[in-house]
């Protein structure tokens, strides 16, 4: 099963290596990873999508929490968060298919960022379903290159955590 984990860490060099090293040393496979500064510049947030059963996930959380530079580990529950990914796709076109491709891009609400005679560069942000649909629609025309950021996620229930690991709303 796929899990989306959010890890608040000290914004220091080497922290990413500690986290990724921990995952690789224990044989946990990362399917997506995105890192960025939070509202507090001394804190970074890593959004990690991992696959594994409950026991594996429990170990991932506990082992991550053991790292000195980790402030908090949050395991997002289904339905309690939004997630987004940015994707750039270069798709091949011909005078015959150009119109069809542009319609497909419009249909999923993606944007054309650059065009040439032979290809289109498309930008899209969205959740997994949207990105998947876009790729499925474009695949028949010939995808030349895909670049994606990895997913980021945010709690939507109001029970989320701030950069310092404290709850959003004090109860």
Partner 1 sequence: MKMTGAQILIECLKKEKVEVLFGYPGGQVLPIFDKLYDAPIKFILVRHEQAAAHAADGYARATGKTGVCIATSGPGATNLVTGIATAYMDSIPMVAITGQVKSFLIGNDAFQEADITGITRPITKHNYLVEDIKDLARIMKEAFHIASTGRPGPVLVDIPSDIQMQEAEFEYPEKVSIRGYNPTYAGHPGQIKRAAKAISDSKKPILYVGGGAIISDASKEVTDLAINNEIPVTMTLLGLGAFPITHELSLGMLGMHGTAYANHAIMDSDLIVAVGARFDDRVTGKLDAFAPHAKVIHIDIDPASVSKNVDVDIPIVGDAKTILRELNKHVKKPDTQEWVKTIAEWKKKYPLKYKEDDALRPQYILEQIFEATNGNAIICTEVGQNQMWAAQFYKFTKPRTMLSSGGLGTMGYGFPAAIGAQLGVPAAQVFDIAGDGSIQMNIQELATAVANKLPVKIAILNNCYLGMVRQWQELFYKHRYSYTCLNGTEPDFVKLAEAYGAVGMLITKKEDVRPAIDKALKINNTVIMDFRIEQEENVFPMVPAGEAINKMIGGGLA
- Residues near partner 1 (CB under 8 A) are 9-10, 14, 17-18, 21-22, 25, 55, 58-59, 62-63, 65-72, 164-165
Between 59 and 114, name the residue whose CB sits nearer to partner 1. 59
DSSP 141: G
Residue 70 in 3-state DSSP? strand
Looking up tokens 């890593």, which residue turns up? Answer: 46
Between 23 and 76, name the residue whose CB sits nearer to partner 1. 23
**How wide is the angle at C-alpha 156 spanned by C-alphas 154 and 162, nearest 5°?**
55
Looking up tokens 């796709």, which residue turns up? Answer: 89
For residues 119 and 95, is the Cβ–Cβ distance under 8 A? no
Between 58 and 103, name the residue whose CB sits nearer to partner 1. 58
Residues 6+ apart with CB under 8 A from 129: none
The token pair that represents 7 in the structure block:
């890890």
Between 9 and 101, name the residue whose CB sits nearer to partner 1. 9
Considering the complex, what minimum distance in angstroms separates the CB of residue 38 from partner 1? Answer: 13
Considering the complex, what minimum distance in angstroms separates the CB of residue 81 from partner 1? Answer: 22
Considering the complex, what minimum distance in angstroms separates the CB of residue 52 from partner 1? Answer: 14
Between 19 and 134, name the residue whose CB sits nearer to partner 1. 19
Considering the complex, what minimum distance in angstroms separates the CB of residue 58 from partner 1? Answer: 7
Residues 6+ apart with CB under 8 A from 112: 102, 105, 120, 121, 122, 123
Considering the complex, what minimum distance in angstroms separates the CB of residue 71 from partner 1? Answer: 4
């Amino acid at each position: 099963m796929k899990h989306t984990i959010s890890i608040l860490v000290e914004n220091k060099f080497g922290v990413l290596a500690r986290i990724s090293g921990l995952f690789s040393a224990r044989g946990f496979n990362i399917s997506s990873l995105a890192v960025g500064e939070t509202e507090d510049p001394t804190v970074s947030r890593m959004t990690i999508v991992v696959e594994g059963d409950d026991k594996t996930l429990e170990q991932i959380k506990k082992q991550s929490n053991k790292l000195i530079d980790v402030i908090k580990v949050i395991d997002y529950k289904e339905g309690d968060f939004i997630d987004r990914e940015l994707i750039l796709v270069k798709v091949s076109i011909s005078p015959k298919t150009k119109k069809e491709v542009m319609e497909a891009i419009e249909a999923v609400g993606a944007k054309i960022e650059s065009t040439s005679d032979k290809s289109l560069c498309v930008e899209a942000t969205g959740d997994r379903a949207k990105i998947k649909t876009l790729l499925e629609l474009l695949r028949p025309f010939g995808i030349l290159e895909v670049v994606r950021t990895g997913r980021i996620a945010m709690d939507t229930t109001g029970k989320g955590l701030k950069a310092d690991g404290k709850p959003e709303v004090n109860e």
